[in-house]
Amino acid sequence: MSAAGTFAWMSPECIRNSEFSTKSDVWSFGVLLWECLTGELPYKGFDQMQVAFGIATSKYSLPIPSTCPDEFAQLMTNCWKALPDERPTFSDLLEQINQIIERSYMQSNEDSYQSLQKDWRLEIQDMFNELKEKEQEIRDREQAMYERSLEQNHQRLQLEKWEQQLHEREMHIVELELKLLMAANNQERLNHQTPKIQERSGRFMRSLLKGHSTTSANA
């Protein structure tokens, strides 16, 4: 039994919270009963961490063969109730097992029982394979979602980078426009402050010359 690890025999509350009680033992008894009836290891071929997570989250449950007697199927189902308080006591289990013995379900010959176990193992293996395929599909979908998320994140970063570059170009254009506007204002201010030189008419020089000539004649 220990070859496949111990999680397969543990109840969900034991795995999640390390809560051990007689009700968690009832769960383990149901797994042992399943193992004895089918001759198969629970969750054979599964990764033990995967088994622990599946049981703890109630995603895993051991498959009960379709031809398993109803009394055994119901007994195991009761042992695997999610709520510990809903599981039977060991006294209840003993009473149910004695009733099954009285009905002589297992009085068939050894060969027929081994043949039945063989059929059960094949059915269980098919169920396990189906479970593995479903889990692989889930992992593939999760991987695809993860890759899409990475791609979307990459696109978002590219968009943010493009927006930043666009903003920087816009700011550069605004800066150039401000410089041009300031240069134009400065030039206009200089034009207003520069004094204009008035042209002289020439009459002043002619009057000076005329006065000089008159003075010379009187002399």
Over the stretch 153-197, which tens digit does the pLDDT of each residue have?
878 888 888 888 888 888 888 888 888 888 888 877 777 766 555
pLDDT band of 3, cuts 50, 70, 90: very low
- Give the CB-side neighbour count of residue 35, counting CA atoms within 13 A: 15
- 51-85 pLDDT, tens digit per residue, is 999 999 988 999 999 888 889 999 999 999 999 99
- Distance (Å, rounded) from C-alpha 97 to C-alpha 106? 12
Which residue bears the tokens 């990475």? 150
- Distance (Å, rounded) from C-alpha 44 to C-alpha 90? 27
What's the DSSP call for residue 198? P
CATH code of the region 2-151:
1.10.510.10
Radius of gyration of the chain (CA): 49
- Distance (Å, rounded) from C-alpha 117 to C-alpha 122? 9
- Distance (Å, rounded) from C-alpha 150 to C-alpha 157? 10
User: What pTM did the predictor assign?
Assistant: 0.58
